[in-house]
Amino acid sequence: MKIIEVKDYQQMSNKAAEYIIKKVIQNPSIKLGLATGGTPVGTYKCLIDDHQKKGTSYQKVTTFNLDEYVGLPGENKNSYRYFMNNQLFDYIDINKAKTNVPSGIAADFQEECHRYEDLINQHGGIDLQILGIGSNGHIGFNEPGTSFASKTHIVELASSTIQANARFFNKIEEVPTKAITMGISTIMKSKEILLLVSGEKKSEALFRLLNEEISENFPASVLKNHPCVTIIADKAAIADLKVTT
């Protein structure tokens, strides 16, 4: 794993966007794996800014999002489909038909999990997957204890995740308790992974990722088995590492 240290959230966002833009220019038909949450918002802003000023085109790009809340339709402001439209897709020239987010309102969720996994495979897999990390080490919505062999599946969210994500909802009771997420093996099949880590709240997770053994109890640790991972982390997230080294 390669770690790029940056000063702060803004610099992390700039670097991540530069990284993604370079890949899109090299391969205009790139299959991008995208994440939601607070971490990538700044990166998406930079992509929009670059698109408007320099004209980087996303017309041929296909995207696959990591996850979606079970029970939320795309029109719901807290759904990840809404988030992606609102934070990125509506402001670049991407073909919406090429943007994929698992359905939170499928009639048959088992079928939806298979459909999503197959869709990624039919497209030849993800070229570059953007990831954030939960403070308990979750990636996508793969909570501690998730099998490394998992494919797209339905999960019960950990109470720490529900609490962490309650900030986006009016009240904690509104946070869905289940989600549909790419599995760990789905994520690991990506040819390349870019993990973004920002802020003191994530410093323990980053420390554990780099120092603990690979274990299903800390899902992100699996990334150490991947041949091509780049971490962009800011000083606040790296602080814990400095204390011990």
Residues lying near ligand GLP in the complex (CB under 6 A) are found at 35-39, 66-67, 132-134, 140-141, 161, 165
Q: Which residue has the tokens 């992509």?
A: 47
For residue 77, the minimal CB distance to ligand GLP (Å) is 16
User: What gap in Å lies between CA 169 and CA 178, rounded to an integer?
Assistant: 15
DSSP state of 151: -
Which residue is at the shortest CB distance from ligand GLP?
132
The catalytically annotated residue of 50, 117, 127, 143 is 143
Q: Is 86 a catalytic residue?
A: no
The nearer residue to ligand GLP, 104 or 140, going by C-beta atoms, is 140
The catalytically annotated residue of 50, 100, 138, 234 is 138
For residue 25, the minimal CB distance to ligand GLP (Å) is 26
Q: Which residue has the tokens 């088992």?
A: 110
The nearer residue to ligand GLP, 58 or 141, going by C-beta atoms, is 141
The nearer residue to ligand GLP, 56 or 112, going by C-beta atoms, is 112
Q: Is 112 a catalytic residue?
A: no
Backbone angles phi, psi at 181, to 5 degrees: -140, 150
Residue pair 220/137 in contact (Cβ under 8 Å)? The answer is: yes
The catalytically annotated residue of 67, 112, 234, 240 is 67
User: What gap in Å lies between CA 77 and CA 13, rounded to an integer?
Assistant: 23
Helices vs strands, H then E, count in the chain: 8, 10
CA 241, 183, 159, 102 torsion-angle sign: positive
User: What gap in Å lies between CA 240 and CA 245, rounded to an integer?
Assistant: 9
Cα distances (Å, whole numbers) of residue 189 to 33, 74, 133, 227, 232: 11, 27, 18, 10, 20
For residue 41, the minimal CB distance to ligand GLP (Å) is 8
The nearer residue to ligand GLP, 27 or 41, going by C-beta atoms, is 41
Q: Is 85 a catalytic residue?
A: no
Q: Is 240 a catalytic residue?
A: no
For residue 15, the minimal CB distance to ligand GLP (Å) is 16
The nearer residue to ligand GLP, 104 or 132, going by C-beta atoms, is 132
Indicate the burial class of 107 (C-beta count within 10 angstroms; 0-12, 13-18, 19 or more): exposed
User: What gap in Å lies between CA 49 and CA 15, rounded to an integer?
Assistant: 14
The catalytically annotated residue of 136, 165, 234, 240 is 136
For residue 57, the minimal CB distance to ligand GLP (Å) is 26
- Positions marked catalytic: 67, 136, 138, 143
